Amino acid sequence: MVQRLFKLFSQEISGLHEAAFLLGTFALGSKILALFRDRLLADYFGASATLDVYYAAFRIPDFLYVSLASLVASAVLIPFIVERLSDRARAALFFRRMFTLFFFGMAFLSITAFFLMPALAKIIAPGFNGAERDMLIALSRIMMGSPFLLGLSGLFASVTQSLRRFFVYALAPVLYNVGIIIGIVFLYPLFGLSGIAYGVLLGAALHLLIQLPVLLAHGFVPRFTFSFDFKEARDVFFLSIPRTITVSVSHLIILVLTAIASLMVEGSITVFNLSYNLQAIPLTVIGMSYSIAAFPTLARLFSGGERSAFVAQILNAARHIIFWSFPILVLFIVLRAQIVRTILGTGEFGWTETRLAAASLALFALSVIAQSLILLFVRGYYAAGFTRKPLVINLISSACIAAAAFGLLYLFRTSDFFRYFIEALLRVPDIKGTEVLMLPLAFSLGTLLNALFLWTVFKKDFRAAHDVPLVNKEYSELMATSRHSFYASVLAGFVAFQFLRVFDAVFDLNTFLGIFAQGFLSGAIGIFAGVLILLLMGNNELREVSAALSRRFWRRAPPVAPDQGEPVDFHPLRREGHRFAAPRAPMRRPAGDFLGREHRRLLLIAAVERLHGGVDLPVKTSLCYHAGNTRRCCGA
Look at 75-89, 91-105, 107-121, 256-270 and tell me which has the smallest mean pLDDT. 75-89
Would you place residue 558 in the very low, low, confident or very high pLDDT band (cuts 50, 70, 90)? very low
Where does residue 179 rank: exposed (0-12), middle (13-18), buried (19+ CB within 10 A)?
A: buried
Nearby residues of 20 by Cβ (< 8 Å), 6 or more positions away: 289, 290, 293, 294, 317, 320
Angle between helix 74-84 and 145-162 (nearest 10):
40
233/286 same-domain check: no
Overall domain count for the chain: 3
377 with 458: CB under 8 angstroms?
yes
Domain match, 474 and 541 both: yes
263-280: average pLDDT: 90
Please provide the DSSP assignment of 555-585 as one string.
PPPPP-PPPTTS-B---GGGSTT-TTPPPP-
Is residue 20 within 8 Å of 106, Cβ to Cβ? no
Picking from 7, 377, 30, 9, the residue whose alpha carbon sits closest to that of residue 160 is 9
Query: Is the same domain home to 229 and 120?
Result: yes
Examine the pLDDT at 595 and tell me if it is beyond 70: no
Residue 582 predicted with pLDDT over 50: no
Quick one: 452 and 581 in the same domain? no
Contact 453, 397 (CB under 8 A): yes
pLDDT higher than 90, residue 444: yes
- Is 80 exceeded by the pLDDT of residue 580? no
Q: Say whether pLDDT at 468 is over 70.
A: no
576 falls in which pLDDT band (50, 70, 90)?
very low
pLDDT surpassing 80 at residue 79: no
Question: Does 366 fall in a domain?
Answer: yes
Higher-confidence position of 447 and 312 = 447
| pLDDT score, position 433 | 87
Mean pLDDT for 382-387 is 79
Global model pTM greater than 0.75: no
Q: How far apart are CA 161 and CA 171, in angstroms?
A: 13
**104 lies in the same domain as 247:** yes
Which of 265, 292, 318 delimits the end of a domain? 265
- H helices of 415-511, in order, are 416-425, 438-461, 469-504
Alpha carbons 313 and 324: distance in angstroms, whole number: 17
Task: Provide the sign of the torsion angle of the four alpha carbons 318, 322, 324, 325, taken in this order.
Answer: positive
- Please give the Cα distance from 215 to 212 (Å, whole number): 5
Could you tell me how far CA 92 lies from the centroid of its own chain?
27
**Cα separation of 490 and 37, whole Å?**
32
Residue 86 lies in a domain: yes
Interatomic CA distance for residues 249 and 397, integer angstroms:
10
pLDDT band at 424 (very low <50, low <70, confident <90, very high): very high
Q: Are residues 496 and 616 in the same domain?
A: no
Residues near 588 by Cβ (< 8 Å), separated by ≥ 6? Answer: 565, 567, 568
347/589 Cα distance (integer angstroms): 72
Residue 513 lies in a domain: yes
Q: What is the pLDDT of residue 572?
A: 40
- Give the integer Cα–Cα distance in Å for 438 and 402: 11
Weakest-pLDDT range from 30-44, 259-273, 456-470, 547-561: 547-561
Residue 520 belongs to some domain of the structure? yes
Residue 127 scores a pLDDT above 50 = yes
265 backbone dihedrals φ, ψ, rounded to 5°: -65, 160
Tell me how crowded residue 10 is: count the other CB atoms within 10 A of its CB: 16
6 found inside a domain: no
Count other Cβ atoms within 10 Å, centred on residue 15.
Answer: 16
d(CA 399, CA 393): 10
Distance in angstroms (rounded) separating the CA atoms of residues 496 and 490: 10
d(CA 188, CA 204): 17
Q: Does residue 311 belong to any structural domain of this protein?
A: yes
Lowest mean pLDDT among 240-249, 409-418, 516-525: 240-249
Cα–Cα distances in angstroms (integers) from residue 489 to residues 19, 178, 278, 367, in the given order: 25, 34, 20, 15
129 and 98 both lie in a single domain = yes
629 and 481 in a single domain? The answer is no
- In this structure, the answer to whether residues 41 and 165 fall within a common structural domain is no
Residue 498 domain flag: yes
21-25, 222-226, 476-480, 548-552 — which is least confidently predicted?
Answer: 548-552
Look at 115 and 547; give whichever has higher pLDDT.
Answer: 115
Domain co-membership, 418 together with 483: yes
Nearest C-alpha neighbor of 160 from the set 89, 62, 77: 77
**Can you spell out the DSSP letters for 92-106?**
HHHHHHHHHHHHHHH
Distances from the Cα of 29 to the Cα of 32, 278, 279, 285, 509, angstroms: 5, 14, 15, 9, 27
Q: Please, what is the average pLDDT of the chain?
A: 80
Please report which confidence band the pLDDT of residue 396 belongs to, taking 50, 70 and 90 as the band edges: very high
452 and 483 both lie in a single domain: yes
Longest dimension (CA), the chain: 94
Average pLDDT of the segment spanning 560-576: 40
Q: How far apart are CA 467 and CA 119, in angstroms?
A: 55
**How far apart, in Å, are the Cα atoms of 596 and each of 128, 471, 581?**
84, 44, 22
The residues near 32 (Cβ < 8 Å, ≥ 6 apart) are: none
What is the extent of the structural domain holding 600?
A: 572-634
Residue 387 makes CB contacts below 8 A (sequence gap 6+) with 239, 240, 241, 242, 243, 246, 381
pLDDT of 411 over the 90 cut? yes
Residues 415-426 have a mean pLDDT of 93
pLDDT at residue 85, as a whole number? 80
Name the domain boundary from 525, 554, 583: 554
Domain shared by 110 and 143, yes or no: yes
Domain boundary among 202, 231, 265: 265
Q: Are 534 and 556 in contact (CB under 8 A)?
A: no
- Does some domain include residue 1? no
Predicted pLDDT of residue 402: 94
